Structure 1
Amino acid sequence: MFGTHDLWLFVVSGLLLNMTPGADTFYILSHASSRGFKGGLAAALGISTGCMVHIVAASVGLSALLVASATAFTVVKVIGALYLLYLGFKMIFQSASLVSSQRARFVSFQTIFWQGCLTNALNPKVALFFLAFLPQFVDQQAQYHSLSMLFLGVVFNVNGTLWNILIAWSATLALQKLTSDHFAIRWFHKTVGVLFLFLGLKLLLDEH
């Protein structure tokens, strides 16, 4: 179908990969806890948009050029790492006043969306993932490999987005019981902040 093979295996593998907890999951949870389902939804859609940037880039060959250029790869990696560090520090220092001052109410859904988008779009490791994963399911006899890659990427991203929306919805229901527990919410945001600091440092120190 669309120049691919073993599509069922691709879908199953993609679902399992999307269901594996990671930075995206905690980013969605952090905003679902402070802004409810709409906050989690904005985070999920932002993450999906960031992934779509890499999918399109991989399909047209831009990701391959990025990986082939050590300088370009390093520049994008450093920018992405610094942005993760920025988000980590922001979550840690804002968590102290997150509930008491209702500061979270002033974080727009648009800001949540674009932060989620940038955390993915500026991570060259995501580009590497799609370059390694998608071609395995493209039929070598396909007439248009780029369209086959794009089709697979869209399928992967749609499944991932649906899973992330489910996370946002489930988290909202679960965290409603903790809305009065300011201590738990503050420490949850601190934990997510520390996770982003770790991921930022890891990305910064990783070799190409």
Structure 2
Amino acid sequence: MPELSTLLTYIAILTGFVFFPGPSILLTLTRSSTSGARVGVATSLGIALGDLVHTVMAVVGISAILLTSAQAFTVIKLLGAGYLIYIGLRSLFEGRLNTKPEATVPISVRQAFRQACVAEILNPKSAMFFLAFLPQFVDPRLGHIAMQLMILGLLFVLMGAVATLVVAFAAGHVGRFLRRNPSVQRWQSKVVGSIYCALGIRLAFQER
């Protein structure tokens, strides 16, 4: 297990990192404000599961393939970008079909969880982060390298989940009021779709 001073430094850095308005926070905020707090929570948990997968990959060394292979990085990057753009285009398309506010069907909890999890797993930048960031806080003198990595990764998953859950509940209450306004409701699908497409395009042009 890492030393206490190392853990405290790690947690302090994570606190600033996980609450920074990055893709995870943005996705959770979008889902919560448009489909409610339950969907936001599902999105948060989906992201956490994706981060857990990256933690396991970092521990067993699979993520090293992405660091050494430009081809593998490109393939996974394009898969993740394509998936985000697919979600965005589908939201835009559904928004055009649902011209009446009462016809708008919010995304289900299961769909939100699955989409968030897949999008996070297919984000090579997350794999790079875990592989590059976690080892900086590992002390080889203490031994049990895999255990140290796992503890650090689980702390990241836990704190990241706390941050996105806070956003999910806060945005869910705000979204409840917004959804009562028909004009806002007509723009929800457009906003959601545009954000997902923008994130997908950003990921597609992400350099190693």
TM-score in terms of structure 2 length: 0.90
Q: Look up the match of 1:55.
A: 55
The correspondence of residues 1-208 of structure 1 with structure 2, limited to 5 A, is 2-4=1-3, 6-96=6-96, 97=98, 99-104=101-106, 107-208=107-208
- Asked whether the 8 Å contact 1:23–1:196 carries over to 2, the reply is no
Please give the alpha-carbon distance, in whole angstroms, between the structure 1 residues aligned to 2:115 and 2:203. Answer: 17
- Asked whether the 8 Å contact 1:33–1:185 carries over to 2, the reply is no
Gaps of 5+ in 2: none
Tell me the percent identity. 35
- Asked whether the 8 Å contact 1:138–1:149 carries over to 2, the reply is yes
* Matched AA of 1:113: F
Range with greater deviation from structure 2 (190-199 or 136-145): 190-199
- Asked whether the 8 Å contact 2:43–2:113 carries over to 1, the reply is yes
1:184 to partner: Cα distance: 2.1
Please give the alpha-carbon distance, in whole angstroms, between the structure 2 residues aligned to 1:199 and 1:171. Answer: 20
SS in 2 for 1:62: coil
Please give the alpha-carbon distance, in whole angstroms, between the structure 1 residues aligned to 2:137 and 2:126. Answer: 18
Please give the alpha-carbon distance, in whole angstroms, between the structure 2 residues aligned to 1:124 and 1:80. Answer: 8
Task: Figure out how many residues of one structure are paired with residues of the other and give that number.
Answer: 205
Gaps of 5+ in 1: none
Please give the alpha-carbon distance, in whole angstroms, between the structure 2 residues aligned to 1:38 and 1:122. Answer: 24
Q: 1:197 to 1:64 in 2, by over 3 A?
A: same
Deviations 1:59-106 (A, max 9, x none): 1111012221222222111111110111111222223428431321xx
